[in-house]
Amino acid sequence: MKNIKATVIKPGPLSPKEALVLGYLCEGYSRKEIAEQICRSESCINRRVESLADKLSSHSTAEIVATATALNIVRIELKRGTRGFFSQFVILLLCFNFVFGFSGLRPRSPRPIRTQNVARLVRASRQV
């Protein structure tokens, strides 16, 4: 989620600290991570988020982000060039698995084959 860049365009009724918290919320940080980033307590961040919710008439963090984006308070962009070789390889492998159904990546049966053989042996020993 940290591949997202949020820029507060026009804070409007928001204070500078609320705008800062809103930017971090739009980038996908949790409240605890925001508190660590700006060296504040988590309860301070909770109060800022509650204030944001009141000013934007929202009830959840997702609604705060959606409302701020709809009102053009925040511009959200994807960072470019953040994907490395390994992540591109994994994406390519997943696409290959999806298209061709490579069985090596599929999960195994939840019931091991061994238990089925044991059940046959137990039934056979009872019949003797």
Strands annotated E in 25-121? 74-78
Q: Mean pLDDT across the stretch 89-116?
A: 59
pTM comes to 0.61
Task: Please write the tens of the pLDDT for every residue from 11-59.
Answer: 888 999 999 999 999 998 999 999 999 999 999 999 999 999 999 999 8
What domains, with CATH codes, occur in the chain?
A: 4-78 (1.10.10.10), 85-127 (no CATH)
DSSP 3-state of 78: strand
Instruction: Supply the DSSP symbol for 5.
Output: E
Of all residues in the chain, the percent with pLDDT exceeding 90 is 34
Handedness of CA 38, 40, 46, 52 (dihedral sign): negative
Residue 98 has pLDDT above 90, yes or no: no
- At 63, list the tokens: 């609604």
